[in-house]
Amino acid sequence: MTPRKSVLVLGGSSDIGRTAARAFAKAGYDVALAGRDVAALKPDAADMRARYNVDVGVFKFDVLDTASFEGFAGGLPALPDVVISIVGLLGAQERAQSDLAHATTIMRSNYEGPSLILGLFAEKFLGRGNGTLVGVSSVAGDRGRASNYVYGSAKAGFSAFLSGLRARASRSGVHVVTVKPGFVRTKMTEGMKLIGPLTVEADVVGDAILKAVEKKTDVVYVSGKWRLVMLIIKTLPEAVFKKLRF
Amino acid sequence: MTLVSGWGRFPVVDSDVLRPRSFDAVGEAVAAASGSVARGNGRAYGDAGIGARRTIAMTGFDRVRSFDPATGYIRLEAGMLLSDLIDTFGPRGFLPFVVPGTRFVSVGGAIAADVHGKNHHCEGGFGRYVGSILLRTGQGETIEASRAENADAFFATIGGMGLTGVILEATIRLRPVETGWIRERVISAVDLDAAMRALDAGDSATYSVAWIDCAAAGGNLGRSLIYLGEHAGADEVAGGAERFPVGKDPGLAMPIDLPSMTLNRYSIRAFNELYYRMGARRAGGSHVVSLFPYFFPLDSIGGWNRIYGKRGFLQHQCVIPEQSARDVLGEILARVSKRGDASFLAVLKKLGYGDGILSFPLPGYTLALDFPLRGDILNFLDEIDRLVVAAGGRLYLAKDARQSRATFEAGYPALQRFNAIRKSLDPAGNIRSKLSQRLFDEV
């Protein structure tokens, strides 16, 4: 019997993290859930064990504590087949405009931490000759908008990092997936005004990530409509775009 | 405030909808505002799942705590949907013992309404397979209730419409099955007598239900198709087919509200005629069908409630005790047929005893009818209710949006006992829904 495949989910207690982990568990993967609050991960671990009869472990991971990354990666019982980074912080744009500490936290949570940890696993995967890295970035990174450019610029950096890593790994057995979910109904977006037809439930993102890993897709817009929306937003001339306040 | 309604989209009322993330937060939500009730997937038709002031959305709590394949007992959070339960444990050879006509209901909702399925006549309702319930009461206690421990709270919570507190978790027993297929036998009945005889003859079948053509009149009054079913064994599944069929998400969705005139006496009569003829052609032999169309025929049309237009619709579901059932059902069907606007969802089924203090079922026949909300429908249904009450029957609270207090109190003689238990669990009256305001609470 071949050993089961395994997935590491960074940001496992987020809504998207939970549904992604469930989708992989359902497909027969063993799961490692990592997040800041290990106690909060345990009920989800029990859930996946009971549902799908797979092994699920929980691990402490803090995306801002970059010094701990080497130890974290080395402390896993085995190098996983798939690593998914779902960590991120929306933050508050207005506050970030004058509160440098808040802006720094947004930038580090969405760019620095996710890039460094996936970069670290990339080296291990390249050494082994296989593996899939998934970064959940954002459509907000496609073009900086007035209403969320601190978050958007960090996601843009993360998208660029993933794109470069994918190109570098393209001749190896390692694959890199960039996921741009668009509006998702989650804790993070609770209370935000989301546009109905452009909004998906978190479990749709989880399924899309599994599909992208299995099909080795490069860049996934979870809802195809977003690809079109962002194409339009990206093509607008700057002279027009800068007048928009959205 | 948000405008909230049930599946029938009537009434539409204001209530604060909260989505707590932890059981502690559920407790705070209950305590902070007098007048809250838990809501599952919103499939109660009327006002049962709407808080008097605050509605506590529970579908985020969908984790399985533990599962024992040796006994079939599963412990889960109450917001888990039966669809999820079936999709996850069906392929492992386990199904809920009882499923209602839609799989898109939460476990908590199924307990609170003590839902019944096509097997109620022989296997009882959802509550019969509940081992224990973790309940957050209105006075802020979290208690485990079972037949042995806090038994009053247990039997009041089964069928208690969420009024004993918020159901947080439950342990339920699942049915081991060899396959996800049902061996179905269709019988056509030319009138009500034949339909009731066929249901009586089907008492030994695990599943039985009749679809009634309620547009038929005169000598055809009550003509029906009776669907009997048994779980199919592994040897009955056609070669090449999966042991467990996949339950597809609703493919065909109703994207808009149809104009309310779409359903009129002519379109309904034509539909019923066609449906009866198609079904009658299949009558006789038995064949194997997927559990999904067998148990959940309407689930394949997403948002089918929108067929009735923006103003919504009413479902009237009564149960009539066995001895007077023939005459009363005949009278109801005659009136409905004369009126002409009852819809394609007319279902007749035999029930046994319920398990909860306020459970809907009692030994007899239940008839469910849909009506678009228009004209003098409210008066018409009040007249029907008089027939039901006179026969010692009652209405199903999970479907109800409009019955009077008098009808309710006449139909549920155990109400006083329920109220006493409810009061002991929640002396301040924190748990209140729009339904409880309408039918239970002191004014």
Cβ–Cβ under 8 Å, residues B253 and B305: no
**Residues B116, B213 share a domain:** no
**Residues B287, B224 share a domain:** yes
Cβ–Cβ under 8 Å, residues B227 and B117: no
Tell me how many residue pairs between chain A and chain B have CB atoms under 8 A apart: 24
ipTM reported for the complex, 2 dp? 0.88
Q: Is the pLDDT of residue B162 over 80?
A: yes
Which residue on chain A is closest to B21 by alpha carbon? A187
| pLDDT tens figures, B343-381 | 666 899 999 999 999 999 999 999 999 998 988 999 999
Contact B65 A52 (CB under 8 A): no
Q: What is the least distance, in Å, from the CA of B9 to any CA of chain A? A: 20
Question: What residues of chain A lie within 8 A of the CB of B86, using their CB?
Answer: none
Residue with tokens 């080296």: A123
**Residues B264, B169 share a domain:** no
Inter-helix orientation angle B322-339/B377-390, to 10°: 160
Q: Is the pLDDT of residue A199 over 80?
A: no
**Residues B21, B100 share a domain:** no
Q: What is the least distance, in Å, from the CA of B121 to any CA of chain A? A: 31
| pLDDT tens figures, B291-301 | 999 999 888 77
CA-to-CA separations, B160 to A56, A78, B171, in angstroms, rounded: 37, 50, 17
Quick one: DSSP state of residue A80? -
Identify the active-site residue in A52, A111, A149, A151: A151
Higher per-residue pLDDT: B305 or B334: B334
Q: Is residue B403, in this structure, part of any structural domain at all? A: yes
Question: What residues of chain B lie within 8 A of the CB of A50, using their CB?
Answer: 64-67, 74
**Residues B162, B95 share a domain:** yes
Q: Is residue B436, in this structure, part of any structural domain at all? A: no
| pLDDT tens figures, A136-181 | 999 999 999 999 999 999 999 999 999 999 999 999 999 999 999 8
Question: What residues of chain A lie within 8 A of the CB of B19, using their CB?
Answer: 190
CA-to-CA separations, B135 to A131, B58, B107, B113, B145, in angstroms, rounded: 45, 13, 13, 15, 7
**Residues B173, B94 share a domain:** yes
Q: Is residue B169, in this structure, part of any structural domain at all? A: yes
Q: Is the pLDDT of residue B190 over 90?
A: yes
Can you tell me whether residue B351 is helix, strand or coil? Answer: strand
Which residue on chain B is closest to A40 by alpha carbon? B22
Question: What residues of chain B lie within 8 A of the CB of A190, using their CB?
Answer: 19
User: Which residue, of B37, B57, B77, is where some domain finishes?
Assistant: B57
Confidence of residue B22 (pLDDT cuts 50, 70, 90): very high
Confidence of residue B272 (pLDDT cuts 50, 70, 90): confident
Q: Is residue B419, in this structure, part of any structural domain at all? A: no
**Residues B314, B228 share a domain:** yes
CATH number of B341's domain: 3.40.462
Cβ–Cβ under 8 Å, residues B44 and B6: yes
Evaluate the omega torsion of the peptide bond into residue B11 and state whether it is cis, within 30 degrees of 0: yes
The region of weakest confidence among B28-32, B260-264, B340-344 is B260-264
Q: What is the pLDDT of residue A85?
A: 98
**Residues B246, B297 share a domain:** yes
Q: What is the least distance, in Å, from the CA of A41 to any CA of chain B? A: 12
Q: Is residue B324, in this structure, part of any structural domain at all? A: yes
pLDDT, average across residues A21-33:
97
Cβ–Cβ under 8 Å, residues A12 and A37: no
**Residues B170, B76 share a domain:** yes
Is A151 assigned a catalytic role? yes
Cβ–Cβ under 8 Å, residues A72 and A79: no
User: Which residue, of B124, B147, B178, is where some domain finishes?
Assistant: B178
Q: For residues B311 and A218, give the distance between their C-alpha atoms in angstroms, rounded to a whole number.
A: 47
Number of domains in chain B: 3
Residues paired with B394 in a beta bridge: B319
Burial of residue A223 (CB within 10 Å: 0-12, 13-18, 19+) is: buried
Residue whose C-alpha is closest to residue B17's, from B40, A210, B132:
B40
Return the half-sphere exposure (C-beta side, CA atoms, 13 A cut-off) of residue B218. 1
Interface test with A, best of B61, B64, B87, B256 (most A CBs within 10 A): B64
Q: Is residue B165, in this structure, part of any structural domain at all? A: yes
Q: Which structural domain, as residue segments, surrounds residue B122?
A: 64-178
Which residue on chain A is closest to B255 by alpha carbon? A197
Question: Chain B interface residues facing chain A, Cβ-Cβ under 8 Å?
Answer: 19, 21, 63-67, 74, 88-89, 92
Helix (H) or strand (E) holding A148, with range, is: none
CATH number of B174's domain: 3.30.465.10
Helix (H) or strand (E) holding B209, with range, is: strand B207-212
Bridging pattern class, strands B207-212 and B224-231: antiparallel
Contact A50 B67 (CB under 8 A): yes
Q: For residues B61 and A152, give the distance between their C-alpha atoms in angstroms, rounded to a whole number.
A: 31
Q: Is the pLDDT of residue B195 over 70?
A: yes
Residues paired with B51 in a beta bridge: B433
Residues paired with B349 in a beta bridge: B366
Q: What is the pLDDT of residue B261?
A: 60
Q: Which residues does B134 contact at the CB level (< 8 Å), separation at least 6?
A: B142, B143, B144, B167, B168, B169, B170
**Residues B223, B93 share a domain:** no
Residue with tokens 């345990």: A42
Contact B66 A44 (CB under 8 A): no
**Residues B240, B114 share a domain:** no
Q: Is the pLDDT of residue A2 over 80?
A: no
Q: Is residue B392, in this structure, part of any structural domain at all? A: yes
Percent of chain B with pLDDT over 90: 79
Q: Is the pLDDT of residue B256 over 70?
A: no
Q: Is residue B420, in this structure, part of any structural domain at all? A: no
**Residues B116, B31 share a domain:** no
